[in-house]
Chain A
């Protein structure tokens, strides 16, 4: 199956700095990728839809200026947490729909996740 690689797997940063998280589709092209946020012992919350070559679509309540998304190529989307604060500490996961056994765009493949800790 398709592979989505997310980097870094964990990062610690100082309050006020920015952190970039990368999400790559390794063996398929993804015109759309998704960014999720997961708090401890909770489910995944969709933050935004990343569209190649156009602006991302953010879910209600997600700050566009805080979470900058860039999808410059068919295999790479980045999420930048700007001016990070401790409340931004969380687990961030990206995903992309790719070709599963059922054919094109039938399965969401997830990155390994990034644990962000802001101190």
Chain B
């Protein structure tokens, strides 16, 4: 069965420091992968997506992610976090029928 794993339940990072969120997927030779961000009580906003092509994907808000097939990973990074980046982050993979399988999420806390 398809699964998406986010090993880190929560991460605390200082403002201005770099951030990396891990994601591993288990389905498909050509996965469709997404990273979403969710602020409390809100819906999900797409940060970036990968379908094919360049394995380093640029997204909004200064985020990027790198697809590594050999490691079945799609880790999200940001060089310098801002206090407004504190939120919940979800990695997801598209399966048949456009269904999305979500990872468990990683809560990011930003210290001043």
Residues on A close to B: CB < 8 A? Answer: 6, 32, 34, 41-44, 46, 49, 91, 93, 95, 97, 100, 102, 105-113, 115
Contacts and interface: CB of A to CB of B under 8 A. Distances in A.
B30 to A, nearest CB: 13
Contact of A97 (B44, B90, B98, B104): B98
Nearest to A59: B99
Interface in B32-57: 32, 34, 36, 41-46, 49, 51
B43 A32 contact: no
B49 A102 contact: yes
Interface residues of B, number: 24
Contact of A111 (B43, B99, B100): B43
Nearest to B98: A97
Contact of B41 (A97, A100, A110, A113): A113
A107 B104 contact: no
B102 interface: yes
A43 B104 contact: yes
B49 A106 contact: yes
A49 B99 contact: yes
A73 B42 CA distance: 25
A108 B98 CA distance: 8
Contacts of A42: 104-105
